[in-house]
Structure 1
Amino acid sequence: MKSAVETLNPTRVRLTVEVPFEELKDSLDAAYKKINQQVTVKGFRKGKIPARVIDQRFGRGAVLEEAVNDALPKFYTEAVNEAEVNPLGQPEVDITELKDGELLAFTAEVDIRPTIEIPDYSGIEVTVDTVEVTDEDVEKSVEQLRDRFASTNPVERPAAEGDVVTIDLEAKVDGEVLPDGVANGVQYTIGSGELLDGIDEAVTGLEAGGEATFTSTLKGGSAEGKEAEVTVKVTQVAARELPELDDDFAQMASEFDTLEELKADSRKRLENMKRYDQATQAQERVLDELLKIAEVPIPEKLLEDEVNTRKHNLVNHQLGQMGLTLEKYLELQGKTLEEFEAETREQAVKGIKTQFILDELVNKEKLNVNQEELTEHLMRRAASSGMSPDQFAKAVVEGGQVPMLVGEVARGKALAVVVEAAKVVDTNGEDVDLSDDEDETAETVEASAEDAPAAEERSEDKPEA
Structure 2
Amino acid sequence: MKTELLGQEKNIVRVKVEFEAAEFSKGLAEALGEISRSTNIPGFRKGHAPRRVIEMRVGRQALYNEALEKILPAALQQVVEDYDLETISDPSIHIDDIHEGEPVTCELTLEVMPETELPVLEEIEVERLNSQVTDDMVDALILDIRKRHSRLEPVERPAEKEDVVVVNFVTRILDDASSGESEPQKSEIDLSDEVVRSEVRSALIGRSAGDTVETEFDVEPDYRDSTVAGKRVHYTMTLETVNTRILPNLDAAFFKSLFGEDTEIATEESFRRKIGDDLLARMKRENEAHAAGRAVDEVSKRSTVDVPESLVERQIELLKKKDDEEARRRFNMGMKELLNLKEGEDEARYEGIIRSRAVEMVRNMLVLDAIGRKYEVEVSKDDLEAEVDRRAAVYGIERNRLLGLLHKDRKFLAGVVDDLRYSKITDLLMTLVKVRDVDELSVPQAETPSADGER
Which TM-score tier does this pair reach, normalised by the shorter chain? Answer: 0.7 to 0.9
Q: Which amino acid aligns with 1:354?
A: N
Q: Is the CA contact (8 Å cut-off) linking 2:127 and 2:438 kept in structure 1?
A: yes
Separation in structure 1 between the aligned mates of residue 36 and residue 213 of structure 2, nearest angstrom: 80
Q: Is the CA contact (8 Å cut-off) linking 2:165 and 2:239 kept in structure 1?
A: no
* Structure-to-structure mapping, 1:447-458, within 5 angstroms: none
Post-superposition offset of 1:13: 0.8
1:7 aligns with 2:17: no
Q: Is the CA contact (8 Å cut-off) linking 2:212 and 2:236 kept in structure 1?
A: no
Q: 2:326 aligns with which of 318, 326, 332?
A: 318
- 29-38 vs 258-267, greater mean Cα deviation: 258-267
Q: Which amino acid aligns with 2:422?
A: R
Cα distance per residue 1:114-133 (max 9 Å; x no partner): 34455431222111212222
Separation in structure 2 between the aligned mates of residue 210 and residue 27 of structure 1, nearest angstrom: 84
Q: Residue 293 of structure 1 aligns with which residue?
A: 302
Q: Residue 94 of structure 1 aligns with which residue?
A: 94
Q: Residue 427 of structure 1 aligns with which residue?
A: 438
Separation in structure 2 between the aligned mates of residue 53 and residue 13 of structure 1, nearest angstrom: 40
* Structure 2: unaligned runs, 5 residues or longer: 173-177, 219-224, 256-263, 441-455
Cα distance per residue 1:46-91 (max 9 Å; x no partner): 3212224444666544432322233332333333333332221111
The residue matched to 2:49 in structure 1 has which SS? coil
- Would the alpha carbon gap of residues 413 and 35 (structure 1) be closer, same or farther in structure 2, given more than 3 Å must change? closer
- Would the alpha carbon gap of residues 364 and 330 (structure 1) be closer, same or farther in structure 2, given more than 3 Å must change? same
Q: 2:289 aligns with which of 280, 287, 290?
A: 280
Q: Residue 368 of structure 2 aligns with which residue?
A: 358
The residue matched to 1:249 in structure 2 has which SS? coil
- Would the alpha carbon gap of residues 58 and 120 (structure 1) be closer, same or farther in structure 2, given more than 3 Å must change? closer
1:302 aligns with 2:311: yes
Separation in structure 1 between the aligned mates of residue 148 and residue 372 of structure 2, nearest angstrom: 47
Q: Residue 345 of structure 1 aligns with which residue?
A: 355
Separation in structure 2 between the aligned mates of residue 357 and residue 267 of structure 1, nearest angstrom: 37
Q: Which amino acid aligns with 2:306?
A: P
Separation in structure 1 between the aligned mates of residue 40 and residue 269 of structure 2, nearest angstrom: 89
Q: Which amino acid aligns with 1:359?
A: D
- Would the alpha carbon gap of residues 72 and 373 (structure 1) be closer, same or farther in structure 2, given more than 3 Å must change? closer
Cα distance per residue 1:413-451 (max 9 Å; x no partner): 22222211222121259xxxxxxxxxxxxxxxxxxxxxx
Q: Is the CA contact (8 Å cut-off) linking 2:118 and 2:299 kept in structure 1?
A: no
1:114 aligns with 2:123: no
The residue matched to 2:97 in structure 1 has which SS? strand
Q: Is the CA contact (8 Å cut-off) linking 1:12 and 1:299 kept in structure 2?
A: no
- Would the alpha carbon gap of residues 52 and 153 (structure 1) be closer, same or farther in structure 2, given more than 3 Å must change? closer
Separation in structure 2 between the aligned mates of residue 149 and residue 321 of structure 1, nearest angstrom: 25
Q: Which amino acid aligns with 1:397?
A: H
Post-superposition offset of 1:300: 2.2
- Would the alpha carbon gap of residues 328 and 389 (structure 1) be closer, same or farther in structure 2, given more than 3 Å must change? farther
1:83 aligns with 2:83: yes
Post-superposition offset of 1:207: 3.8
Q: Residue 189 of structure 1 aligns with which residue?
A: 190
Equivalent residues, number: 413
TM, length-normalised to structure 2 = 0.74
Q: Is the CA contact (8 Å cut-off) linking 1:97 and 1:106 kept in structure 2?
A: no
- 224-233 vs 131-140, greater mean Cα deviation: 224-233
* Structure 1: unaligned runs, 5 residues or longer: 218-222, 430-465
1:238 aligns with 2:238: no
Q: Is the CA contact (8 Å cut-off) linking 2:169 and 2:235 kept in structure 1?
A: no
The residue matched to 2:250 in structure 1 has which SS? helix
1:74 aligns with 2:74: yes
Q: 1:407 aligns with which of 403, 418, 427?
A: 418
The residue matched to 2:122 in structure 1 has which SS? coil
